[in-house]
Structure 1
Amino acid sequence: MPILELQRRMRQLGEIRIGRVVDTGRISQRTQRPIMRPEKLDRFRVTSASKPLLEEVAALYGGTVQPWTPANGGPAEWEVYTDADRLPVLVPPRDPVTQWYELYKGSKCVRRCDGVTEQKSDKPCLCNPEQRDCQITTRLNVMLRDVPGLGVWLLTSHGYYAGTELPEVAEFLATTRGYVDAWLAMEEKQVVRDNGDVARFMVPKLDVAVTPAQLLAGQGAVSPAAVEATAARAAITGNGPAAIEAPKAAPPAAAQPTAETFIAAAVDSKTLNDLSTNLKAAQHAGFARNLGDASDLVAVAFMKRRAELSSPSTDQPAAQAPPAGDPDLIWQQIVAASPWPMSELRERFITASGGVAPEDAGVQDLTDFLNGMKAGV
């Protein structure tokens, strides 16, 4: 049982940065220190206290690991300027983004405000809303998918566009089950100022390779079943496991699987777990997207085999059919059988389950809803 008042979180392995500070060549008369200015980058810069971790980053995404001392006088770390403007990441399912108005003096945060209340003093926000002293501060936590280490990497942005766009995308991805495969990318934006000057700056963004409907249906999340599905796809296609996006040259394209490939996989499935794994591989390849379509031979093969495996059999050990079931597979069946649009389906499910969202529902809630929908309740 966890301590209820203790905020749990994954440890931070390092930071992903889209800029750096450079020396202007001038000296501050007040502090007698060099005056620095920010400079944008068109490739990701990654910093960490762990040199071995950054060596893994450099091996994957290019660059050379070198010592780095933060401008604010923090502890010495390491940095690598990668060759990548897109990184394969996993978006955590809980609180991937935080946002505050913040004001720093040196390395110390003296104000942290949500726009109404200043958190450190628990008093009303001290800034003039028309001319704030505090900066918008958006923090995104992701895992670098192919880099060893169990923890998150922090990206911090003070930009307006990152502050308005990143949270909505990250929070939508976090509504799916598990950690979501995504790309962290950089996009250049330009704005024409009132005086006619054009400002250009880099904005971090999150991309995924699945549709919003697929995300809401539970697809795109990384789970043990998804890892098994990846292995199944590799076995079917004859291609080894691949990263979401290779930072260097892409591997040769493998032969595309056919409908017959997945029909055979359905027939050969020995357990419901095997069937679920093979179904996800088929759907990832573009087959069996609608399990209720009688004209889809792949979908028919999977539904037929599911019925066979679900039926009692004297020659099959009972332990082969897991009693817990697969929430993802049950939700896919609900989506396939639903006569309603996705938004209405979600609302109906939440109402029927007493306020539980599909992505948080257990096997029993999902099964009850599916049975009720089939019965016309």
Structure 2
Amino acid sequence: MGSRLLNIQRRAAEHGRLRTGYTQGNRPMRSATWVVTSHSEEHVRTAAQLWGGEPEQWKPLNSTIAQWRVITTASTIEALITPGDPLNQYNEMWSKGGCQRRCDGETELLTRQPCICLARFGEDWHQQKKGTVCSTTSRLNVMLPDLSGMGMWRAETHSFYAAQEWGGMVDMVLAGTDGKGFIPVNLRIEPRQRVANGETKKFPVVVVELRNITPRQALAGPMTAAVALDPAGGGQAVAAIEAPKGRDWIADAKGALTSDDVRDLWMEAQNAGAVHPKGTDPLSKQLMAIAASKDAESNRQGEDEPGPDEDGAYDVEVIDEAAERQPTDWPVAAQPGSGARR
């Protein structure tokens, strides 16, 4: 591998934004479906093919540079949480002159003062009129695996309630993966409402949820890229999961005595990350086939055992005197020197 500059931060290019609203003239509008925007016409047209909608050219407010956007018909899209910490959260206030405040909830970082909104309005400052207080801003960088390019897409929300859920979800995943590997998720726009001061307010919240994996899998440590890209199929559509070097699981399975031993071996392989927990990968299927052959072999041996005669009696074992003097902690037929016969 080549060298890297150590004094700069490495990051993937940003391909575009995932939005929950759009502008109609100068008027901001909420959307119940995802709005995909990008400078790349190709990305937006591909998004329209995947999630519906009509691509169009568009200029963001206060910008003279045209972009492309599509207001899709999809309220849920598939994404990948990438290695590292993909989430940034601040309380921010913006104007035409740029960012006027950026606060971490305790300290306003531009002036190094204590949180201004908290000092003026107390714990419920976020319920104040928009524009008078900071906006809770969460930015989540994800990869869209079905769009071209290896760059990132930024999902952004200004919901106070989504901020709590995004932080909790991402922190739990990072606790399990240590920021390594990819995690498949769904980004879903969920309509909600709250009642305050006799008024009912409806608003969308972006929910980040695991996609086709369980919390056990997400918290068990980094998963392979193949599984993250194809969680429902165990990674088979991209690449087979290979056993770690130094352990031949197939050879060990063939040398096992019973199917139960093979199943125990599969559990070891699962703990080692060599197989998919759902058993959908090639190695799991090979081990299952070997276990089935062990069962079939055991059944054939059972068929060879002598049955009762026409009177319902079984032949007895004839044991010589030398065998009778052997220790009794082994089954008689298995004792050394046994002259057992049927």
Contact 1:91 1:173 in 2 (8 A): no
- Are positions 1:111 and 2:131 aligned together? no
Cα deviation 1:89-139 (Å, max 9, x = unaligned): 000121211111111112611211112222223343333252462111111
Native 8 Å contact 2:184 2:231 kept in 1: no
Matches within 5 A, 1:211-250: 211-218=214-221, 221-223=223-225, 234=236, 241=237
Q: Distance in 2 between matches of 1:156 and 1:186?
A: 12
Stretches of structure 1 lacking an aligned partner (at least 5 in a row): 24-33, 235-240, 243-264, 279-293, 307-327, 336-377
Q: TM-score, normalised by structure 1?
A: 0.58
Three-state SS of the structure 2 residue aligned to 1:205 is strand
Instruction: Give the letter aligned to residue 185 of structure 1.
Output: R
- Counterpart CA distance in 2 for 1:80 and 1:332 is 41
Q: 2:16 aligns with which of 14, 17, 21?
A: 14
* Secondary structure of residue in 2 paired with 1:59: helix
Alignment partner of 2:88 out of 98, 103, 127: 98
Could you list the per-position Cα deviations for residues 176-224 of structure 1 after superposition, in whole angstroms to 9, with x for gaps in the alignment? 24011111111111101212x21111110112132222212237x3425
Deviations 1:31-58 (A, max 9, x none): xxx6x3x322111110001101111111
Q: Structure 1 pair 302/15, CA: closer, same or farther in 2 (3 Å)? A: same
Query: Alignment partner of 1:94: what SS?
Result: coil
Matched, 1:201 2:203: yes
Q: Mapping of 1:175-190 within 5 angstroms?
A: 175-176=176-177, 177-190=180-193
Select which of 64, 69, 77 maps to 2:59.
Answer: 69
* Aligned-pair CA distance for 1:9: 2.0
Is the CA contact (8 Å cut-off) linking 1:72 and 1:107 kept in structure 2? no
Tell me the residue number matched to 1:247. none
Q: How many residues align?
A: 252
Q: Is 2:86–2:141's contact at 8 Å kept on the other side of the alignment? A: yes
Counterpart CA distance in 2 for 1:98 and 1:67 is 29
Q: Please tell me whether the aligned partners of residues 181 and 222 of structure 1 are also in contact (alpha carbons under 8 angstroms).
A: no
| Residue 310 of structure 1: aligned partner | none
Q: Secondary structure at the match of 1:213?
A: helix
**Residue 84 (structure 1) aligned with residue 49 (structure 2):** no
Query: In the alignment, which residue of structure 1 is the partner of 2:167?
Result: 167
CA contact (8 A) 1:138 1:157 kept: yes
Amino acid of the residue matched to residue 300 of structure 1?
A: L
Query: What displacement does 1:172 show?
Result: 2.3
Q: Distance in 1 between matches of 2:144 and 2:200?
A: 34
CA contact (8 A) 1:100 1:114 kept: yes
Conserved 8 A contact 1:137-1:156: yes
* Bigger shift: residues 101-110 or 79-88: 101-110
Given that residues 145 and 229 in structure 2 are in contact (C-alpha distance below 8 angstroms), is that contact kept between their aligned partners in structure 1?
Answer: no
Return closer, same or farther for 1:301/1:155 CA change in 2, 3 Å cut-off.
Answer: closer
Letter in 2 for 1:119: L
SS at match of 1:172: helix
Please say if 1:330 is aligned against 2:272. yes
Which is worse superposed, 110-119 or 157-166?
110-119
In structure 1, what residue type is equivalent to 2:208? L
- Give the structure-2-normalised TM-score: 0.63
Q: What SS class does the counterpart of residue 272 from structure 2 fall into?
A: helix
CA contact (8 A) 1:97 1:171 kept: no
Secondary structure of 2:116's aligned partner: coil
SS where residue 142 of structure 1 aligns?
strand
Kindly report the root-mean-square deviation, in angstroms, between the aligned alpha carbons of the 2 structures.
Answer: 3.7
Residue 300 (str. 1) matches residue 265 (str. 2): yes
- % identity of equivalent residues: 29
Alignment of 1:124 with 2:89, yes or no, is no
Q: How far is 1:85 from its partner?
A: 1.1
SS in 2 for 1:163: helix
What is the one-letter code of the residue matched to 1:214?
Q
* 1:73-94 superposed Cα distances (whole Å, 9 cap, x missing partner): 2521010011211111000121
| Alignment-mate amino acid for residue 223 of structure 1 | A
Secondary structure of 1:168's aligned partner: helix
Which residue number corresponds to residue 213 of structure 2? 210
Contact 2:43–2:147 under 8 Å retained in 1: yes
Q: Does 1:39 align with 2:4?
A: no
- State the AA in 1 paired with 2:192: K
In 2, the alpha carbon distance for the partners of 1:111 and 1:229 equals: 41
